[in-house]
Amino acid sequence: MALEKHIYKIFEDIVGPENISQEPAVLDSYSWRQGQGARMDKFVPRFEAIILPKYTEEVQAIVKLCNRYMLQFKASSTDWATAGTRGGPNIIKIDLRRMSKIIEINEKNMYAVVEPYVIYAQLQAELMKKGLNCNVIGAGSNCSALPLAAHGGIGHMGQSASCGERNLLAVEWVTPEGEIVKLGSLGSADEWFCGDGPGSSLRGIIRGGISAMGGIGVFTKAAVKVYHWPGPSIFPIEGVSPHYAPSQTPERFMIRFFSFPSIEKMLEAERKIGESEISFELMGFNAAMIASNIATSNDEDFENLNRLRSLMKGHGFLVIVAGNSNREFEYQQRVLQKIIDETKGKSLELIEDPKIGGGLLWRCIRITASIRETFRATGTWGGALAGTDIFAKEVYHMEKAALIKKDLIRRGLARDDGGGILVWAQEHGHLGHGEMLLQYSTSPESIKGAVELATGSDRIALDDHYGVPHGIMGNEKHDMFGPYAYNYHLWLKKIKKAFDPNEAADPTFYISAKK
C-alpha cells in the first residue's frame, strides 16, 4: 500500500524529491531477507517508502509527520542485521545514510561525536592518527560507529575499550513523538563529555544491555568514549585484495591464540589476564572463526578448519598485548606466559607465524573480517546469544546450549564448524559475553534447526537462571522473561508508552505497549 499522494508530497517537501522513494525496485532493495536469521521467504514485507534525511531537523519533521498521520517509522544506519528490516503496512524506513559526519574528536576529554552513518573503520582510523582508539563492535568496522546503533556493542576490544553500554556519552535524540532531546552534558552545557549530566540522564531509558533497535526514536548524534592507542597512526597494510598483509608487526604488539584442556582452565586464564590488566584485546575465537578469518576463500577456510581442529586442545581465546614501553611489553609477556603455564594453555603455533599472526592482528584490531567469519560459508547465519554479565555464567549458558548445536550438526541440519562457542571476558575479567554461531541453509529443515537452537538456548537461560540474554527482543520474548526478572518487561512497556504514545517507532525488535 503506497503512501497517499498528499502525505508523500509532505515528506517530499522535507527532504526533496530525490531523497524519498516508493518505487517497488527501491523498496525491494530494503526488503531482502539478509543473511542473519534468514527464513524461507526471500523478501520481508516492504516498507511504504524510503526516506533519506540529512539533518536532525529533517528527522524531527519526518517523525512528527508519522505521528500526525499514524504511520510508523524504522530508522537505521548501516543496516546490517535482521533488526534493520521488518517493514509491513504503515511503516516507512528512515535511512540515515546521508548523516555521515564526524562532528568532533576531542583528544583532551577523550570522546568522539558522530552521526549515524560514520562507520567504525573511519572513526577508528581518524582516532589512531591521534593516538586514540575506540571499541569496534564485533559485527565489523563496516557498521555504524554510533554507540547506540548496534545491538549490544560488544567487540573484540572489550578488555581495553569496553562495550556499547559503557561507551555512550551525550546523545542527541529525536524522540518517537518528534521532540529533540539533548541528553547528558549536552543538555546543559552544549558539551558531549558525559552521558549522565549535568543535563538530564536517560541512558537507562534509551538503552539497556542492548539498544532499542529502532524502537524508541532516532539517535541523530552521539558521543562515544575513546581510549589510548599504543600503536602506529597508519596501518602498514600492503598487497592487493584479498591478500592484504602488514609489512611489519607493530613494535610492542604480540598476538597469540591459546587453547586449554578444560573450560575451567580457560576461565581461570581469562580471569587472571583480566586481573593483571595486561591485555589489549581478548576475543573468544574458536577454531572455525580463526579458520575463516585467515582464509581468503571458502576452500581455504575448509582446509584451515580441518588443520586447526587437530592442532587445538579445546576451548580457547585470542589475545593481543600491546605495550607502551619495552619494559611494559616485557612485563605483559612474562605475566601472560606465567598465566598460560599455570593454566596449562597451549599456544597455536600457526598464529605465532609473523605473516599469519600479523594479518590476524590487524584484522582483529580493525575488525575487518567479520563477514568472512559469519556468512561467507553458507550465506546465512544465526545461533544463540547469551548476555554480558558475570563471565562464568555466560560461558556455562553457552556450553549447555552448544549441546543443541552439536545435535543439529549430528542431524545434518547445519554446517559442521566444530560446534564451538564464542565466549570471552571483558573489562579485566569481571564481565563476559557469550554467543554461538550457526551457519545453516534456507531449507525448511535447516531453518527449523536454527529456530530450535535460538529458542532452546533462551529456554536454557530461563530454566537455569542465566538471566536475560541479548537476543530477547519483541513482546513474546520479553513477556517470557520478564516475570522471572523483576517484571522488567512491564517497565519497558511503560517507557515505550510514555515516550511513544502513538507507537510511531516500529516496536518489532523492541517492545510494544499495546495490549
Partner 1 sequence: MSLDDYQSDMEMCGRCSVCKFIPLEKVNGFQHVNVCPSISKYNFNAYSGGGRLNIVVAMLEGRVGYTDKLLEIVYNCQMCGACDVSCKYAMDMEVLEPINEFRIKCVEDGYTLSTLDKTITRLQKQGTMVPGAKSKRGNWADGLDVKDYTEQKVKIIYHAGCRTCYDKDLGELAKTAVTLLKKAGVDIGIARGEELCCGGRAYEMGYKDDSLRQAKHNMELFQKAGAEILVTGCADCYYTFKVLYDKFQLKGDLKVLHTVEYFDDLIKEGKLKPSKEFNALVTYHDPCHLGRLGEPFIHWKGEKIPGYMRRFDPPKQYRRGTYGIYEPPRDVIKSIPGIKLTEMDRIKEYSWCCGSGGGVKETNPDFAAWTAKERIEEAESTGAEAIVTACPGCNKSLKNAIKETGSKLKVYDVIELLEKSI
Out of 2, 4, 13, 42, name the contact with partner 1 by CB under 8 A: 42
Out of 7, 14, 21, 348, name the contact with partner 1 by CB under 8 A: 21
Residues making up the chain, counted from first to last: 515
Helix, strand or coil, per DSSP, at residue 20? strand
Scanning 76-84, 146-154, 191-199, 492-500 for contacts with partner 1 by CB under 8 A, the matching segment is 76-84
Residue 456 identity (one-letter amino acid): G
Q: Specify which residues 114 forms β-bridges with.
A: 102, 222
- Kindly state the smallest distance separating residue 444's Cβ from partner 1, in Å: 15
- Assess 133 for contact with partner 1 (CB under 8 A): no
Span 155-194, contacts to partner 1 by CB under 8 A: none
- Kindly state the smallest distance separating residue 363's Cβ from partner 1, in Å: 7
137 vs 335, which CB is nearer to partner 1?
A: 137
Q: Specify which residues 78 forms β-bridges with.
A: none
CA angle 327, 331, 333 (to 5 degrees): 120
- Assess 249 for contact with partner 1 (CB under 8 A): no
- Kindly state the smallest distance separating residue 224's Cβ from partner 1, in Å: 15
Span 403-442, contacts to partner 1 by CB under 8 A: 414-416, 439-441
The Cα–Cα gap between 122 and 119 comes to 6
The Cα–Cα gap between 214 and 221 comes to 14
- H or E stretch at 307: helix 298-311
Out of 126, 328, 407, 427, name the contact with partner 1 by CB under 8 A: 126
Out of 55, 244, 484, 488, name the contact with partner 1 by CB under 8 A: 244
Span 96-125, contacts to partner 1 by CB under 8 A: 97-98, 102, 118-119, 121-123, 125
> 17: left (phi > 0), else alpha (psi -120 to 50), else beta?
alpha
Scanning 30-38, 63-71, 215-223, 267-275 for contacts with partner 1 by CB under 8 A, the matching segment is 30-38
144 vs 162, which CB is nearer to partner 1?
A: 144
Out of 207, 225, 366, 470, name the contact with partner 1 by CB under 8 A: 366
Out of 13, 16, 40, 43, name the contact with partner 1 by CB under 8 A: 43
Q: Which of 60, 187, 150 is nearest to 367 (CA)?
A: 150
202 vs 295, which CB is nearer to partner 1?
A: 295
Out of 256, 315, 376, 400, name the contact with partner 1 by CB under 8 A: 376
The three cell numbers locating residue 339: 598465566
Q: Specify which residues 91 forms β-bridges with.
A: 72
Out of 79, 165, 270, 458, name the contact with partner 1 by CB under 8 A: 79
SS3 content of the chain, % helix, strand, coil (to 5): 40, 20, 40
- Assess 52 for contact with partner 1 (CB under 8 A): yes
By CB under 8 A, how many residues form the interface with partner 1?
Answer: 72
162 vs 446, which CB is nearer to partner 1?
A: 446
Q: Which strands sit side by side in the sheet containing 102-106, from one edge to the other?
A: 102-106, 111-114, 218-225, 168-174, 180-183
For 29-111, where are the alpha helices, taking DSSP H only? 56-68
Span 290-329, contacts to partner 1 by CB under 8 A: 297-299, 301-302
- Kindly state the smallest distance separating residue 244's Cβ from partner 1, in Å: 5
Q: Which of 379, 375, 374 is nearest to 442 (CA)?
A: 379
> 131: left (phi > 0), else alpha (psi -120 to 50), else beta?
left
Scanning 13-21, 206-214, 222-230, 483-491 for contacts with partner 1 by CB under 8 A, the matching segment is 13-21
Q: Are 170 and 191 in contact (CB under 8 A)?
A: yes
